[in-house]
Structure 1
Amino acid sequence: MHASALLKFRPPGAPADEEVAVEVPVALTVNGVSQAVMLATPADLEDFALGFALAEGWIRHRGELLDVELTERTEGIELALRVTAAREQGLKLRRRQLAGRTGCGLCGLESLADFASLQPPAVQPPELAPGALARAMAALPRAQVLNARCGGLHAAAWCAPDGTLRLAREDVGRHNALDKLIGARAAAAAPHAGEEPGFVAMSSRASHELVHKAAMAGIGLLACVSAPSSLAIQTAERLGLQLWAFVREARATRYA
């Protein structure tokens, strides 16, 4: 964590300060070329850079990201990614300018043709132990350290097939939280190691973009505490990703 993820703020008339989640513009450049500006919580930003690059297809594996340099500026934070020459050439062929938000969207895709061309690899859902989804969701609040202090942050957690939480990341944006988790998993994985079985549990609704990012990272099951969208369901069906939603209060509904 570099810049503080929480800020002291005293509401008008309040007797004491409260903590609020910080949200700042985070610009991502690749080999000196601007690629995206996202609004994010300034925590675990190296994970965010790696995860975003993987989820967006800028790189195919962590070895293609050579370095990340973080610079705090007056107007926000810059993450300068340095990738291999081969990946730089690939980015030049399909360069996109992204205007990131913590809400919905497709990260500024310029046309419907761009949307149709997004083709993550097919994924394989894991075999779950009975009660795994409920166990993961019950443990998720304990992993939300920042959210416990101020509220307003989403969490994405990597869970073992029995529902045990292995790793979690937080952000004001649910998409950013998943990017950070993807990056943290990639950074922690041993080189040439096999894919660890498991699934992702999230504190948010299930959107198309979450499904797409999960699939791009080779994740075969996504479980969300709230509702799915129709496009999220359709995308999960097309990619073979198992999608569960409304995982709460002793219930869970499988949508794909």
Structure 2
Amino acid sequence: MKNKDSRTEINVNGTGISIMPNQVNGNDYICITDIAKQKSVDSDANDVIKNWLRNRDTIEFLGLWEKLNNPNFNPVEFDGFRKESGTNAFVLSPQRWIESTGAIGLISKAGRYGGTFAHKDIAFEFASWVSPEFKLYLIKEYQRLKDDENSRLSLDWNVNRTLAKINYRIHTDAIKDNLIPESLSKSQQGMTYASEAEVLNVALFGKTSKDWKIENSKPKGNIRDTATLEQLLVMANLESLNAELIRQGIPQNQRLLQLHKIARIQLQSLTNNTSVKKLKQ
């Protein structure tokens, strides 16, 4: 279920757990404040997290995670926390950990919809500390969420790939009716169709299919099979536009310039389009 601020909420054994996409690194961050409610009442959730942060094992784990994933992590501050951890007087909040070490594994948000969010690696570790059983249910529901997202994205991609293929028939009909004299041989006709297909490829991708093959020897398929959702939408539009420009008798070199300009404008618009973003969610 999507919330207004683009967070996703999964239900884990009757407990709603928020998941927030990190706009900087693109990773999922799970609300450990929600997870902490499994161990205590709502008002004590922050204390549960602070108690977890007091443990030496927790500090060691967080420090190692940051060293592996964060080039800007402050090892000097980390060593100070590690030496103090486990003592009776040691207290550590998520905010202090983040501000002192430059950590990126935790995110602390204030306000009504705030809380402490952790990278999924860390969130699963915290869940294990709270309840090993709850951790297993959390992993199961999180994986179910990711499987659903991947399935929807695959479906949307295939629908738009099919749309581009349908529009390509409009494109080829325009070529047949306007660019191919009856006197041309089948091989010459094929060259004409291929030439116009490359016009679209260059306009959108900035390269021909042959150039793409040279640069990408391992992937199967062709240049359009690896296109993004936005690119597929633009390709469908370019096919219709090029068909109309062909019927108007505009030379290929002029059409290429127009199509390239249109492709850039449309891609920029679609990149910031909320409707397209919803297709990916």
Bigger fraction of residues in strand: 1
Q: Of the two, which has the highest radius of gyration? A: 2
TM-score normalised by L of structure 1: 0.23
TM-score normalised by L of structure 2: 0.21
Bigger fraction of residues in helix: 2
Q: Higher RCO, 1 or 2 (CA under 8 Å, sep at least 6)? A: 1
